[in-house]
Structure 1
Amino acid sequence: MLISQLARMVGVDTQTIRFYERQGLLPPPDRQENGYRIYTEKHTEQLAFVRHCRVLDLSLSEISELQKCQGDPHQSCAVVNVLVDEHISHVRSRITALLELEEQLISLRKRCNDDREVETCGVLAGISEADF
């Protein structure tokens, strides 16, 4: 299949496919005489896997590690578990940071609860002062 067909099938942009190829997350496809890439079902499966990993917000290096594990199916999945545990920790840290950000934004928003002119806007003043 052509790159446009693969992109449509998996639900990604063709540039995304090329990017994943450059990053080594997809094997290079064979090429037709005219230079067009030809993709197989294996590419579809690997691209879908990468896409699902990205939905889980896994980094490209984490995806690469998971693919290495897939390449050695008889090893212990302890490596996978450690990777996911570390990712969970990272997600929790980001949630904490986002909650702090939310509080800062709420605090800023409270500085301007009425319809004022911009020159007296409490939100803009607060941002300028970085006092939230």
Structure 2
Amino acid sequence: MATYKIGELSKKTGLTTDSIRFYESKQLIQPSFRADNNYRYYHDDALKRLLFIQRCRALDLSLQEIEILITLEQQPQQNCQAVNEIIDLHLAQVEKKLAELHKFQQELQQLRQSCNAQSTIDHCQILKQLEAQ
């Protein structure tokens, strides 16, 4: 079984050593052992877990959601319902954010349409509307 120092994990995952230490402090990973030189060494399971966390974070899952998924992963006899519920809730949050972003886009487009590029700053309708809001 391969062992890695924290710098090697960092290179393999693209995570900073600070991030790896943070995940360790949250007990999401554990070093396999600490050598006489006081270096922490990690096995493949820590690498696998860090890659899992990284993929979850890329999907904007919260640390709490990741912790729950890891806990569920350690109960292989359970059905997937709890995992589905977490993803469904997160999907609803993403859909809400998309709706908010669409609203922002429309507001910005309206602001942009109010501007006559030939006018001076003291007559800029975008600035005037932003001040009025």
TM-score (norm 1): 0.88
Gap runs ≥5 in structure 2: none
- Equivalent residue number for residue 123 of structure 2: 120
Structure 1 Cα separation of the partners of residues 5 and 119 of structure 2: 57
The CA RMSD over aligned residues, in Å, is: 1.6
Matched, 1:26 2:29: yes
Change (3 A) 1:123 1:71: same
Contact 2:30 2:46 in 1 (8 A): yes
The equivalent position to 1:109 in structure 2, one of 104, 112, 121, is 112
How far residue 56 of structure 1 moved from its aligned partner, in angstroms, is 1.3
Tell me the amino acid that sits aligned with residue 19 of structure 2. T
Distance 2:5 2:127 in 1: 51
Could you say if the C-alpha distance between residues 78 and 122 of structure 1 is closer, same or farther in structure 2, counting changes exceeding 3 Å?
A: same
Q: Please give the alpha-carbon distance, in whole angstroms, between the structure 2 residues aligned to 1:26 and 1:49.
A: 11
Q: Is the 8 A contact 2:31 2:46 kept in 1?
A: no
Which residue of the partner structure matches residue 15 of structure 1?
A: 18
Query: Deviation of residue 28 (structure 1)?
Result: 4.5
Q: CA deviation at 1:88?
A: 1.0
Kindly, what percent of the aligned residue pairs are identical? 34
Give secondary structure in 2 for the equivalent of 1:62. helix
Match of residue 49 from structure 2: 46
Residue in structure 1 matching 2:72, options 54, 69, 73: 69
What SS class does the counterpart of residue 72 from structure 1 fall into?
coil
- C-alpha distance in structure 2 between counterparts of 1:86 and 1:99, whole Å: 20
Give the whole-Å Cα distance in 2 for the aligned partners of 1:129 and 1:74.
59
Q: Does 1:89 align with 2:89?
A: no
Number of equivalenced pairs: 130
Distance of aligned partners of 1:128 and 1:33 in 2 relative to their CA distance in 1, 3 Å threshold: farther
Tell me, in whole angstroms, the C-alpha distance in 1 between the residues paired with 2:25 and 2:119. 52
Residues 120, 34 of structure 1: alpha-carbon distance in 2 compared, 3 angstrom cutoff: farther
